[in-house]
Structure 1
């Protein structure tokens, strides 16, 4: 399945709301690729995300992974303008430092339930070195859309 299988609401949410909100703009997030259940999100290696050792701060890496997981959860044909969601849990394993290269996170849906979506995300630097991995549980309330539709 490709991005063409996604609703306009899902595509808009992924590109313009999740990754490009004020925080995403501040830390240099951008979406490189979207298809159903899979996304690539990039974070620029800018001074705003570096720690005192000139290594990408772990919190910035966590934000990148959370954003990739969120975007992957939203990469479903079922997302509507009325859909709401939030991260329920995020477990991160840091593997190595992110040096002065952009980080690219791949988020992939593992399982979709009625409300909860499980996503694996992996962050690598531009040279392909593994920086961190995570598993996220995301609440994407598609049932809310069905309830709202039933009220109409």
Structure 2
């Protein structure tokens, strides 16, 4: 990832308190060449993604057809997640999107936008929105 992506993500991740820590687990995409079996690559990525989900975690798929939460709605979802005591896994698919198995594993589906964003930018947007939702829950002035 370019330095600006690491810097952007790290900026929001370091602001999060220990009880709501952001941990990025990158799943390497399969190698794409001219005649790749894209369906197989997506399935394999999905299997690796599912294997990386912590046991007992609440799983949220980030997917265009998901629910387009407002920041207050994301904050309420975070309140629920934190109240459950479970880890939360936010799944972001590869270049062709999420594998069907990853979608099926998710209990919720969240759409950042109907727009298509580059993957490096998505990790920054998600980190910032999670931080913003946390600040809203904690009456921190950042959200204003």
TM-score (norm 1): 0.29
Bigger helix fraction? 2
TM-score (norm 2): 0.30
